[in-house]
Amino acid sequence: MTRFPWSAMVSTVAVLTLGAVAPAPAAADPSPAPCSGADAAVVLVHDLASTPDVWSDLRADLTAAGFCTVPVTWGEPAGTDVPLPLAGLRGAEAGARDLAYALDGLCEQRSRCTVDVVAHGAGSLVTQRYLQDHGNDRVRSLTTLGPMWHGTEIAGLAAAEQISRDLGTYNAVLALEKPLVDPLCAGCREIIAGSDLLRDLHARGVPTAGIDYTDIVSRCDGLVVPPGIGALSASAVVTLPGTDSSPCVHHWALPHDGPARDAVLTALSGSGM
């Protein structure tokens, strides 16, 4: 049986992902606007192999603009997982449960609770899975930075995976190698274009009716390859850089990039907040 090295493919994504995560620029963590009396809040959902610290600059912007911000941590290592000092490693299913738990806590004291979600990278997939599993009654809009709606073809991994499927070796190889890879980064295999998660996500419906989607994409994202596959056709799409001479911004820098943050504020202002 021809065997394609699934663990090698996912390990490549893990190395490219974990190795590319740079420490966030030093910035004071702003005190968020109190949410106890607010009917609406901006919920921030970080990326694969990340932490809520990535939102420091955007939270400062949102707080200054009068928004209530709620950063959510999802997918932290648990049980027998490798204890890396990052979150966003356990995949979209676990992430959706974490997001549901956070929204339950946020909304339990309110008779009416509406949130606008801002998600980075794989956080878009986590939020979409939440909408599919838990409904859209609490979410008004989803604004994404570097969304991964169709995954990535980085290093040709999606093509290699498809060959494995065509040869009939995919399930057998996955059964052998998944236990070795998932304790490190279960979410890494999910962002490869054509992954089981992405197939199921789209089969169940993307976008979700009743949600306003805005996708903020970079022409030189670096992780979303090719960058043009990131956005949904039904979304309002903002492409960076725009018509000015702003430098191109990499995937991991999007939450800190000035024009990207401005685009988030514009999207939220148009959501009815």
Domain ranges of the chain: 35-155+186-269
What angle do the packed helices 92-107 and 170-190 form, to 10 degrees? 40
Tens digit of pLDDT for each residue in 215-259? Answer: 999 999 988 888 878 899 999 999 998 766 678 899 999 999 999
Tens digit of pLDDT for each residue in 14-31? Answer: 544 544 444 443 333 334
pLDDT of residue 34: 52
Tens digit of pLDDT for each residue in 31-55? Answer: 444 566 555 799 999 999 899 999 9
Beta bridge mates, 69? 42
Question: Which of helix, strand or coil describes residue 273?
Answer: coil
Question: Which of helix, strand or coil describes residue 196?
Answer: helix
* Residue 240 dihedral angles phi and psi, to the nearest 5°: -110, 145
pLDDT of residue 222: 86
Number of alpha carbons in the 13 Å side-chain half-sphere of residue 15: 8
Answer whether 0.85 is exceeded by the pTM: no
35-155+186-269 sits in which CATH class? Answer: alpha beta
Q: 193 to each of 89, 154, 196, 200, 223, how far by Cα in Å? A: 18, 9, 9, 12, 12
**Residues 214, 238 contacting (CB under 8 angstroms):** yes
